[in-house]
């Protein structure tokens, strides 16, 4: 659950920061471009978020 929540929250924070900085958020002068690339990789690292959601759902619902 942490991987799912952390990835989504990091994406939201970086996207918001890039929007606040406007065009400067896309340049290499600020670390936001690097952060945006790293956040995109977080969605795939150790499996896509959707796979983790399915695993959480299966474990939660297996007793029902």
Separation of alpha carbons 15 and 33, rounded Å: 10
What pTM did the predictor assign? 0.73
Of 12, 29, 46, 50, the active-site residue reads: 46
Separation of alpha carbons 14 and 24, rounded Å: 13
Q: Where are the alpha helices (DSSP H) in the chain?
A: 2-21, 32-42, 49-61
Instruction: Tell me the CATH class for 2-61.
Output: mainly alpha
Active site residue 8: no
Distances (CA, A) of 5 to 30, 35, 42, 59, 64: 25, 17, 11, 17, 24
pLDDT digits (tens, 9 = 90+) for 9-63: 999 999 999 999 988 888 888 899 999 999 988 888 878 888 888 888 998 898 7
């Amino acid at each position: 659950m942490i991987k799912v929540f952390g990835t989504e929250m990091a994406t939201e924070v970086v996207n918001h920061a890039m929007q606040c900085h406007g065009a400067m958020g896309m340049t290499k002068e600020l670390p936001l471009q690097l952060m945006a690339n790293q956040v995109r990789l977080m969605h795939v690292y150790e499996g896509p978020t959707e796979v983790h959601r399915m695993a959480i759902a299966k474990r939660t619902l297996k007793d029902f």
